[in-house]
Amino acid sequence: MALGSLALITLLLLDGFANGAVGESPKHEPKHEPAPAPSQVMDGGPVLNLAGGTPHSLRTPPKTIALTFDDGPDPKWTPRLLDVLKRHDAHATFFSIGAHIAQHPEIAKRMIAEGNEIGSHTYTHVDMASAPAWRNRLELDLTQRALAGAAGVHTRLIRMPYSSVPDGLTAPEWRAAQQAGREGYLVVLTDRDTEDWQKPGVDKIVQAATASEKDGHGAIVMLHDAGGDRTETVAAVEQVIVRLQARGYRFTTVSAAMGLPKADVPATGTEKAIGWTLVSAQRSAAALTGWMQLLFVIAGVAAAVRLAVLLVFAHVHRQRARRFRPPRSLQPASGPPDPAAALSALGAPSGADAPPSVSVIVPAYNEEAGIAATVRSLLNTDYPGPLEVIVVDDGSTDATAEIVARLALPGVRLMRKPNGGKPGALNVGIAASVGEILVLVDGDTVFQRDTIRHIVAPLAADPEVGAVSGNTKVANRGGLLGRWQHLEYVIGFNLDRRMFDVARCMPTIPGAIGAFRRRTLVSVGGVPTDTLAEDTDLTMAICRAGWRVVYAEHALAWTEVPDSLRQLWRQRYRWCYGTLQAMWKHRRSLVERGTFGRRCLLYLTAFQVVLPLFAPAVDLFAVFGLFFMDPVAPITMWALFAGAQVAAGGYALWLDGERLRPLWTMPLQQVVYRQLLYLVVVQSVVTAVLGTRLRWHTIRRTGTFADGGPGHDSDLGPGSPAGIAAP
């Protein structure tokens, strides 16, 4: 991940440098003080030889025109100009930008192959008069390397950006010209500046290029082959060549016009190899930037559409839940629960109107911090039917089993087994249970008094329902990390579950709270043991078997979440890796009858695998755009998305009866917390691709429920189970 991030940053910076977004290359023509260059230079010809410290200037011979084009090559306009030159057997000199040469090496090759010559116009069109000497050397060196990689040559010619005729040279420009001369370049200015970049019209360009044509004077003519629409330039060049060739003028390169050796010098094999590397990197950087811009838009649109769809489905689910009427047999029991009576009723056949018997299975491994609160909350229920609680100690090395034994509560059975993982412990408890409905609960989870009644209600009301997901709540949400996880549970997990319920494609019943028909579990072979996300694996198997899985929003379960980034990483790494395992295991559901696989797996692939994989790169590109490009687009998109997230979060919190106060942490969550989760997905995918086996990870418990539950936290909703740990 570090190497990938470094490579991405390097390519983005290279593209930003090449386009003048990173560095000192100005976007507009600079203004310099009109302090002149030496008089012998200003009164001389347009080609300056500054070798040896003494300036020598050359003038264009009579009846000779050296057309010169700046700022290219351009993929559209440069080939059109080359076509005009070739059609009239004329040649020209192209003062090209090194970054453009690297981006379009095929055009540079064509220039040389058709008898034209290429001069340096720096790598990024930097103002050499104001740039430091080291920057100018870098610009010239990179341009030579780009030429070597693109066309296999070096050049002796240079035209400084923003320069024009000799008598227009300022003192800073003269110093830059002297530096270029010391580097071995011939500095080329111009006799006639057409100023075609201002688009004055074809006639005015032709008039400027053909000034003094009747006198037969030769000239170096400045035009442009890039930087915007060059339709006028192409048309003007055609007219100039036709008009002056008829008067006996020849059109040739600057070097040929001055009787100098060819400006193009063959590069060595090593120079070509280095140049090829630069050209390849530049083209890759440009392509990457283009793809990143597209990906940035796609990711933003996809996230916005997903958020809108989640809210629509949440509204539909709420309307359905309001119309749902649980069976009369599940009316809350009056008075305190009688565990002994509930236990004695287990195993007896249920009448038509009797509530189904329930067995609660609690797998526990090193849960001494909260197991007593969990067991007590399960017995403190208003469920009117027979109930048993089975705690399966999975080889704990702490006092988990001893605490349960000392409680000696009626209706609670303790089973011990060697450590073998949570799925194995669940299967042991299921095999020993007798209830018609099995409620599977984590050992760090606390139920409210009405939780079991709410989670059993859909099973009692609809025989097509095979399993029910409860509503998991974060208990230890006091700190910033806890608030972030609280928002994720309410906005992410539970909004998703509402959508999955309506679409009938629930992928996960959380291990903290889920209810199952016994015959549903039997039909899929019990809790699977071959993936790390046994809850997701089991839920997908139930859906594939044709059962309906629903979400009971009022069946609340309070659970303890990791209180450190290290613990959070370990937990989410196991969840994500296990989800990938389950998705791969159930991949055939994509082609099976029914819509589960095509709805669920495609959604998970898009929004829990693919989008998180690219999200870090998209965020990095947004930061790059913020500092080195037009910042309006990334700032606007981020602000709109953050506002939409906060609004959706407020709606989700309202649906769950939660306070809105934690919403202030949501913008910061997008910057910090989401990045961690994205990197977890990246690591999980890499682990899966490499075929590495991931062992079980457990998180350290802090005993959130040991002092009376989470009710002390002011951010908890009105339904928080205060006092649940009391005897």
Closest Cα partner for 161 from 148, 172, 146, 150?
Answer: 172
Q: For residue 266, is the peptide bond before it cis, meaning its omega torsion is within 30 degrees of 0?
A: no
The DSSP line for 572-635 is HHHHHHHHHHHHHHTGGGGTSSSSHHHHHHHHHIIIIIIHHHHHHHHHHHHHHHHHHS-THHHH
Q: What are phi and psi of 220, to 5 degrees?
A: -95, 120
Decide: helix, strand or coil at residue 491: helix
Question: CA–CA separation, 434 vs 359, rounded Å?
Answer: 7
Q: At what angle do helices 632-655 and 494-503 cross, to 10 degrees?
A: 70
Structure tokens, 244: 């002056």
- For residue 633, give every residue at least 6 positions away whose Cβ sits within 8 Å of its Cβ, in sequence order, or none: 625
Question: CA–CA separation, 512 vs 441, rounded Å?
Answer: 5
Q: Kindly state the DSSP code that residue 224 receives in the 8-state scheme.
A: E
Q: Is 175 exposed, middle or buried (0-12, 13-18, 19+ CB in 10 A)?
A: middle
Structure tokens, 74: 């351009």
Closest Cα partner for 254 from 104, 120, 131, 386?
Answer: 120
**Do 67 and 251 form a contact (C-beta atoms < 8 A)?**
yes
Q: Which residues form the catalytic set?
A: 70, 224
Closest Cα partner for 359 from 415, 424, 413?
Answer: 413
Decide: helix, strand or coil at residue 165: coil
**Do 513 and 557 form a contact (C-beta atoms < 8 A)?**
yes
Question: CA–CA separation, 74 vs 291, rounded Å?
Answer: 20
β-bridge mates for residue 362, sequence order: 391
3-state helix, strand, coil in the chain (%, to 5): 50, 15, 35
Residue 347 zone, left/alpha/beta (φ > 0; ψ -120 to 50; rest):
left
Which residue type is seen at 260?
Answer: L
Structure tokens, 617: 């790169």
Question: CA–CA separation, 680 vs 182, rounded Å?
Answer: 55
Chain position carrying tokens 């507009």: 28
**Do 571 and 562 form a contact (C-beta atoms < 8 A)?**
yes
Closest Cα partner for 271 from 259, 281, 279, 262?
Answer: 279
Q: What are phi and psi of 345, to 5 degrees?
A: -80, -15
Question: CA–CA separation, 526 vs 430, rounded Å?
Answer: 8
CA atoms in the 13 A half-sphere facing the CB of 234: 17
Chain position carrying tokens 């059975």: 413
